[in-house]
Amino acid sequence: MATFVLVPGFWLGGWAWREVAATLRGQGHEVYPVTLTGVAERAHLAGPEVGLETHTTDIVRLIEVEDLRDVLLVGHSGGGLPVTQAADRIPDRIARVVYVESGPMPDGTSQFDFNPPEEQERLRAQVGDGHLLPPPAWDPAADPENLAGLDDAALALLRTRATAHPLRAATDKVRRTGAPAGGRCRPRWSPARSRCRWWRR
């Protein structure tokens, strides 16, 4: 059986993996859903100093403290950034990295870098003088691609449970310190989403 560490995307906590975790555990796997610092039940820790390195440490410390080996490390959306750094920090403990609606970020880039300037300006206006990025409205009409297939119950859960996300997690640059161990990345193209998905092998 495998060991999974599941990292959610922006605004979400470990709760977002509940059904996935239950299915995997039902198949006999060991599963660790992560809630990153400053989000969901850890929202009270969302100080201005919380950023990408904090979230990377969350993942690395979980794996080290639980003494996990041969980990299948899964990052959803914005969770792909700290997953990329965590896999770089402790490659000897990672069997495979799986990106869901994300991909391995190039060194020296941030999530914000992938938004056009006008979108960056809009997001920064939402934040104002604060340090938290508010969640979206989860409106399928405004974001049909990312919310496709979600029913009313799932959308209601997102609107109820999503919390603001530390801004620095989106603006800090990915910093890789070494080469991944044991394998290479290869792309898997998804025509339905027109995005590349990656995994280690």
- Catalytic status, residue 77: yes
CA angle at 13 for the pair 84 and 15, rounded to the nearest 5°: 120
| CA quadruple 63, 68, 69, 73: dihedral, nearest 10 | -50
Cα 64 to Cα 142, 143, 173: the distances in Å are: 41, 37, 24
- Could you tell me the two tokens for 123? 């997001």
Rounded distance between C-alpha atoms, residue 99 and residue 51, angstroms: 20
| Active-site pick, 77, 110, 190, 194 | 77
Which of 135, 183, 180, 182 is closest to 159 using CA atoms?
Answer: 135
Rounded Cα–Cα distance for residues 129 and 126 (Å): 9
Which residues are identified as catalytic?
77
